[in-house]
């Protein structure tokens, strides 16, 4: 059980910390208001307050980890950053309790220092949310190219995410109009968390629409394959595993009329860069909240049931097959075939190998793919009728001399292996 904690800002309503000490600073601001005083005069006790808050959650409430919201919004120029002190304190407490406790960083900077060890100049956090992976996958599934999606055109960015973790590792970003990120390929794959959807990426859309409302059923299976067959830690958004149809729009429950108006105005301004047309649901409206409720009974019906079983099959393969269970980018190769909108990813562990083929095109395609010589067995094909596909021409077995010709179904994931799961 993990808890999402927000140490970069505090909400404007019901916030009385200012009455008790110098918790805020006017030397920096966040998109949500005043920054927390982590490095100014009298900041030592402020740091201690937040460190002890984290220790309280993991010690007294027995959480297994904390997801740290938007750590890039924490303003801290000190020689001993608050995040490094937090990581040290939590890991020391974990050792004393004989437990594993994980700290997950959400950041838009693509800065590997957050998850590098303190010995190598990092902060010592455990896991980094990889927004790059989501943006590249989302563009391929939906075709959206506005806002930050303009930086992720084509199949090649996703191929780099599979091999390197971050996609932007120092190159120029058209959206941000500056260089972004640093090299992350040396970091273990288990340090990155990937997803096709999350609360931010869904909730910060104009209508809070999920992938199930944006793409085809075949594309939902393709998204599942890209995430769960990756070498990274997968995250599934609530209801994603059965294709939940309820939107997840942004909603609040404030009392201050001035604050409510500011939230409404801010939501409209936030969508300006994406070219979305229309009026967002009223974030203060009760009906906005009611529309977001899940219907978990869907997982027993029709395509929803099939998608749920497809996720279960992927998770089972990920757990049982040695090449998929071994979380490493060192034993991984990925190649993109832009003209055909195909990505080929090979993973291996010892003699066991797995080859994942992701086809993002909307029509069947025939192409030559490099495949190591030997016998290969198809263990998953989302185009098959059992998965409510239109049928697949991919054979159940292959004998490769180094290259094979395949006809792939539209928007499909196909998995071949050379070894039986153990």
Check: CB of residue 420 under 8 Å from CB of residue 320.
no
Q: What are phi and psi of 105, to 5 degrees?
A: -100, 130
Instruction: Determine the distance from the C-alpha atom of residue 230 to the mean position of all C-alpha atoms in its chain, rounded to a whole number.
Output: 12
Block residue for tokens 């992976």: 133
**4 catalytic, yes or no?**
no
**CB neighbours of residue 133 within 10 Å:** 27
Task: Say whether 364 sits in a helix, a strand or coil.
Answer: coil
Specify which residues 33 forms β-bridges with.
Answer: 30
Residue of 39, 106, 126, 240 with catalytic role = 106
The burial class, CB within 10 Å (0-12 / 13-18 / 19+), for 115 is: buried
Which residues neighbour 112 within 8 Å (Cβ) at sequence distance 6 or greater? 122, 128, 166, 182, 183, 184, 187
**106 catalytic, yes or no?**
yes
Check: CB of residue 383 under 8 Å from CB of residue 316.
no
Check: CB of residue 365 under 8 Å from CB of residue 337.
no
Closest CA to 135 of 112, 161, 109, 104: 161
Residue of 39, 69, 132, 381 with catalytic role = 69
Provide the annotated active-site residues. 69, 106
């Amino acid at each position: 059980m993990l808890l999402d904690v927000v140490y970069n800002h505090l909400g404007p309503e019901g916030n009385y910390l200012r009455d008790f000490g110098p918790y805020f600073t006017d030397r920096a601001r966040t998109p949500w208001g005043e920054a927390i005083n982590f490095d100014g005069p009298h900041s030592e006790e402020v740091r201690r307050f937040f460190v002890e808050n984290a220790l309280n959650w993991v010690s007294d409430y027995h959480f297994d980890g904390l997801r740290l919201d938007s750590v890039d919004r924490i303003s801290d120029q000190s020689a001993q950053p608050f995040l490094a002190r937090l990581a040290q304190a939590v890991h020391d407490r974990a050792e004393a309790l004989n437990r594993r406790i994980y700290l997950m960083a959400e950041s838009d900077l693509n800065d590997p220092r957050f998850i590098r060890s303190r010995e190598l100049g990092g902060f010592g956090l455990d896991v980094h949310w990889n927004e790059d992976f989501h943006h590249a996958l989302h563009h391929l599934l939906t075709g959206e190219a506005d806002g930050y999606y303009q930086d992720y055109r084509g199949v090649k960015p996703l191929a780099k995410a599979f091999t390197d973790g971050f996609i932007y590792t120092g190159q120029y970003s058209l959206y941000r109009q500056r260089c972004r990120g640093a090299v992350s390929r040396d970091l273990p794959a288990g340090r990155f968390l990937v997803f096709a959807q999350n609360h931010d990426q869904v909730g910060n859309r104009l209508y809070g629409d999920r992938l199930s409302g944006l793409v085809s059923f075949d594309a939902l299976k393709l998204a599942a394959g890209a995430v769960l067959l990756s070498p990274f830690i997968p995250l599934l958004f609530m209801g994603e595993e059965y294709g939940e149809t309820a939107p997840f729009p942004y909603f609040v429950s404030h009392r201050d009329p001035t604050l409510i108006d500011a939230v409404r105005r801010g939501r409209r301004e936030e969508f300006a860069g994406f070219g979305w047309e229309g009026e967002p649901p009223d974030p203060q409206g009760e009906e906005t909240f009611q529309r977001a409720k899940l219907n978990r009974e869907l997982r027993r019906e029709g395509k929803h049931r099939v998608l749920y079983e497809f996720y279960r099959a992927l998770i089972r393969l990920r757990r049982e097959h040695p090449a998929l269970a071994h979380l490493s980018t060192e034993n991984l190769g990925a190649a993109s075939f832009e003209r055909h909108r195909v990505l080929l990813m090979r993973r291996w562990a010892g003699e066991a190998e797995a080859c994942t083929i992701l086809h993002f095109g909307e029509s069947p395609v025939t192409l030559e793919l490099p495949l190591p010589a030997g016998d290969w067995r198809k263990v998953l094909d989302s185009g098959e009728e059992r998965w409510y596909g239109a049928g697949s021409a991919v054979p159940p077995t292959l004998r490769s001399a180094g290259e094979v010709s395949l006809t792939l179904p539209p928007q499909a994931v196909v998995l071949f292996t050379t070894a039986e799961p153990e």
